[in-house]
Amino acid sequence: MSGAASEAPSFLIVTLGCAKNEVDSDRMRALLLEAGYREAEGVEDADVALINTCSFLASATSESIEATLELAQAVEDGVRDLPIVMCGCVPSRYGDELPGELPEVAAFVRTDEEDGIVGVVDGVLGREGGEARGASGVLRTVEGTSAYVKISDGCDRFCSFCAIPYIRGRYASRRPEEIEAEVRGLLDQGVREIVLIGQDTGIYGQDLADVPTLAALLRRLDAIAAPYGAWLRVLYLQPEGMTDELIAAFRELPSLLPYIDIPIQHCSERVLKAMNRSGDPESLKALFERLRREVPGMVLRTTAMAGFPGETVEEAAELEEFLADVGFDYVTVFAFSPEEGTRAAELPDQVPEDEKLRRTQRLVDVAESLGFAATAAHVGERVDVIVDGVDPDVEPPELIAHAWFQAPDSDGVVHIAEGEATVGERLTVDLVDSFCYELVGEPTVSPSPETEEG
């Protein structure tokens, strides 16, 4: 091992993919730390390396395998013995094939096996006793101001283009008590924004015996978050999950931000049916109009897919027009990827790659036009922001923060050139300029008593 005999063995975690993987890596980190391991600063300081992989798209699978091979090559070049443990979605999707394909990897851990990571790492390093160790409470190691919390895993939708149900299994809600304990622990650590995630957050609780709804869970979490002055944010809602009860929660709960991420993928009824999804332009537009009408200041984010098999030129143009008509604040654009094992990969009338890229770019152009305009519309507002960090590479150093209408790691940030604050602090700023998805803020100066008195 790289450390002294008396020093605990160290681990390195490399995380690829989405926020759900970040949560999974954080839990594995906490389990290993609780078991007496220490976290390494880099490859040269590690006794074992964990790479938490993504396999949502073929490109993500390739990136995960390439990152694993690059890590193995770096170890070989350094002439060191550093076992590699591949975790997450790639082992879940291709587990039986991997040992023969990747002899460089010492162990493979599927997503549903990650709570046993201590035993796996102990085994790889030849240590004893790891199987008896495990979770003894809220295990999170978040150091930032925002934290993702999974309220469910898996998916029952089986959209024809998506491999997630085959990777993460059927939909499974976490118990509300477990979520509450995790949220309370994070807030006690100084986290001031809780971002609730899952593959399909709107149907939370439908698989549990007592059937708590997402709206009921949010009311319980609001009671916890409010005394801390913390924000609650919900991502990955499907249109069918927007019930009257849930819309009322967005309207009434002080901690719950009026920000909704509803991935529609398309608006054409025919394309949606081929995707094994429901909806049509009229019902979707009515939903978004209702959200903006009933929830003041509602910010809308969505996801759109270009080039699904059989999509016509007219349907591609219909999607562009729909996005513009609704006026989404943020749109993420994907080009269809024929994922192995999914029904859509075998559909006829696959859109040629060059045409798919053209349609993708047109959607990106619409998305940027909408997003830049929505960002610029906030100039002149006075808003609260959460300070995420400091950019020391500019002179003078800038505070980097995000406002309530900016989801962490997704929607741009607020640059504050003057003022002092600590990470996690809430500041009130005046938004004075914008560029693309970014905003410039200036700390709000409270008027002096003399000024107030005139």
Tokens 């903006």 belong to 292
Confirm or deny that 89 is annotated as ligand binding.
yes
- Interhelix angle 214-225/176-188, nearest 10 degrees: 30
3-state secondary structure labels for all residues of the chain: CCCCCCCCCEEEEEECCCHHHHHHHHHHHHHHHHCCCEECCCHHHCCEEEEEECCCCHHHHHHHHHHHHHHHHHHHHCCCCCCEEEEEHHHHHHHHHHHHHCCCCCEEEEHHHHHHHHHHHHHHHCCCCHHHCCCCCCCCCCCCCEEEEECEECCCCCCCCCCHHHHHCCCEECCHHHHHHHHHHHHHCCCCEEEEECCCHHHCCCCCCCCCCHHHHHHHHHHHHHHHCCEEEECCCCHHHCCHHHHHHHHHCCCEEEEEECCCECCCHHHHHHCCCCCCHHHHHHHHHHHHHHCCCCEEEEEEEECCCCCCHHHHHHHHHHHHHHCCCEEEEEECCCCCCCHHHHCCCCCCHHHHHHHHHHHHHHHHHHHHHHHHCCCCCEEEEEEEEEECCCCCCEEEEEECCCCCCCCCCEEECCCCCCCCCEEEEEEEEEECCEEEEEECCCCCHHHHHC
d(CA 134, CA 377): 49
**What residues form DSSP beta bridges with 84?**
49
Tokens found for residue 406: 């900016």
Tokens 């039986």 belong to 96
d(CA 179, CA 176): 5
Confirm or deny that 267 is annotated as ligand binding.
no
Confirm or deny that 54 is annotated as ligand binding.
yes
Residues 240/263, Cβ–Cβ less than 8 Å: no
d(CA 336, CA 308): 5
d(CA 101, CA 79): 22
Tokens found for residue 135: 């979770």
Mark the binding-site residues, compressed into ranges. Answer: 18, 54, 89, 155, 159, 162
Mark the binding-site residues for [4Fe-4S] cluster, compressed into ranges. Answer: 18, 54, 89, 155, 159, 162
